[in-house]
Amino acid sequence: MKYILLFLTVFGFLSSTIASDKKLEKANKFAEIAQKEFNLKDNVKEQILSEHLTFLNEIEKIDEAVKNGEIGKEKAEQKKKELEKQFDKKMQDITGVSPALYKVFKRKAS
């Protein structure tokens, strides 16, 4: 019994660590592509990384709320679209690029 509990604890910890690593890897890739594409300084890259991690965490919270039955899928999609609009606006402000240029970049970075 102790071994089963230990196994489940370790498995849960590793699962959350792997998910966190994937999120960090995705955000880091996005920030690196933005830095290269727009010739940004390192401090701007770090700001983009921070904003992207925040964005991904918020999306994850919405997904968890759907999974737990707290909100419906339609409401979740609305919230995600609103978050994405806010994130896109922040990225345009941080990078100083036009919405059209950012849209092209976003397709490339995805």
The full set of domain ranges for the chain reads 2-109
Q: Are 14 and 53 in contact (CB under 8 A)?
A: no
25-77 per-position pLDDT tens digit = 999 999 999 999 999 999 999 999 999 999 999 999 999 999 999 999 999 99
User: How much is the pLDDT for 6?
Assistant: 45
State pLDDT tens for residues 4-30. Answer: 544 455 444 444 444 567 889 999 999
Q: Maximum CA pair distance of the chain?
A: 59
**DSSP labels for 72-91?**
-HHHHHHHHHHHHHHHHHHH
Q: How far is CA 19 from CA 26, 30, 74, 100, in A?
A: 11, 17, 25, 32
One-letter identity of residue 57: N
Cα–Cα distance for residue pair 96/21, rounded to 1 Å: 29
